[in-house]
Amino acid sequence: MAISSRTARQGAPVSLDEIRAAPISAPHAPRPDHLLIAEMVTPGARVLDVGCGEGELLRILTEKRGVDGRGIELSQSGVNAGVAHGLSVIQGDADTDLDNYPADAFDYVILSQTLQATRRPKHVMENLLRIGRRAVVSVPNFGHWRMRSQIIFKGRMPVTPSLPSTWYDTQNIHLCTIRDFVDLCDVVGAKIDRAVALDAWGRPVRVNAPWWFWNLFGAQAVFLLRRG
């Protein structure tokens, strides 16, 4: 299966450089996948950020895209930090609490670098597509060449900037490759409106490269999805 990058945008015309240039109150540089996700979201949209952490992405979306944003986060410390920054964040578990949200409650539901930490990734994906008119998902790529080389040459589970924890102290329990995620999209009936792979430095990998190239050189990927 080939992975294509479909460039039809769902939001107002705005470049990634413009989003980077816009001021933001975050104390450190935003993650590259967060900036890319912000580019995919329509200004003023209703957004649910699942596994929002301390609210870094919600702050970007609120300040740069003017969204009506909500967050759900498992850790109490993350909820406290988000609320302290004036964000609407509640405590909840993506594996179970998304069942309680009605269909089409949001324009976008976002899952950023969180799917691999869920117990039921397929169920979570189905809920994202049910709750939101669009879903934006970013995933680390376990098929990246650095991951492969650590297993082949060192005989150890990989530790990289995108997967920094050791195997015995990680929350990541369902690791996948970019190709695996695309296959999951087929299983849950998700259509890919746009897909971008990023290298280890956060730069887009060649846009029209075949899946094996993305799978080898993409450290992570961001997908804009809709129901089939």
Amino acid at 30: P
Greatest CA span in the chain, whole angstroms?
48
Average pLDDT over residues 91-110: 97
- Say yes or no to pLDDT of 15 above 80: no
Taking only the tens place, the pLDDT of each residue in 18-52 is: 545 554 555 567 889 999 999 999 999 999 999 99
Q: Find, among 94, 88, 93, 95, the residue nearest to 67 by Cα.
A: 88
Identify the three-state secondary structure at position 47.
strand
Identify the three-state secondary structure at position 223.
strand
Counting every residue written for the chain, the total comes to 228
CATH number of this structure's domain 16-227: 3.40.50.150
Average pLDDT over residues 75-101: 96
At 131, list the tokens. 């709750």
What is the structure's pLDDT at 163?
A: 66
- Say yes or no to pLDDT of 98 above 60: yes
Average pLDDT over residues 108-127: 95
What is the structure's pLDDT at 165?
A: 65
Average pLDDT, rounded, for the chain? 85
- What separation in angstroms does the CA of 56 have from each of 29, 68, 102, 118, 168? 10, 15, 25, 20, 27
Residue 11 banded pLDDT, cuts 50, 70, 90: very low
At 163, list the tokens. 């997967």
Cα–Cα distance, 106 to 215 (Å, whole number):
31
Q: What are phi and psi of 84, to 5 degrees?
A: -60, -25
DSSP single-letter state for residue 163: S
Q: Find, among 132, 181, 161, 122, the residue nearest to 10 by Cα.
A: 132
Highest mean pLDDT among 118-132, 160-174, 193-207: 118-132
43/8: higher pLDDT: 43
Chain-centre distance of CA 46, in angstroms? 17
Give percent above pLDDT 70 in the chain.
Answer: 79
Give me the residues paired with residue 190 across strands: 227
Cα–Cα distance, 33 to 192 (Å, whole number):
17
